[in-house]
Amino acid sequence: MDVVSVAETAVFFVFAAITLGGALGLIFAQRVAHSMLSLIFCFMAVSGIFILLGAEFLAAIQILVYLASVGLVVLFGIMLTRRQILEEDFE
């Protein structure tokens, strides 16, 4: 095995770990904004895996469609939603 294939495999495992960590963070986060940030990390890692596979167009579509469109819509929905601030939120 040459150095390039070992480095590519290591980068793949880093992206896979970020994807799994983002997915678990999405599920187990207590607040919606934190789960959205985990979803953004997950989407970015998936686009990195697409780049490793040589599918740059899919990576660009992943970033443009999912991160920009879906992510921003959900974040604006979170920011524009009014909620009552309770004293237990500050604990």
**Tens digit of pLDDT for each residue in 32-70?**
778 888 888 898 999 999 999 999 999 999 888 887 777
Whole-angstrom CA distances from 44 to 60, 61, 67 are: 10, 11, 8
What is the CATH code of the structural domain delimited by 3-90?
A: 1.20.120.1200
Q: Residue 64: CA atoms inside 13 Å, Cβ hemisphere, count?
A: 6
Q: Write down the pLDDT at residue 77.
A: 75
Question: Which pTM value belongs to this model?
Answer: 0.75
The two three-digit tokens of residue 37, written as one number: 């940030």
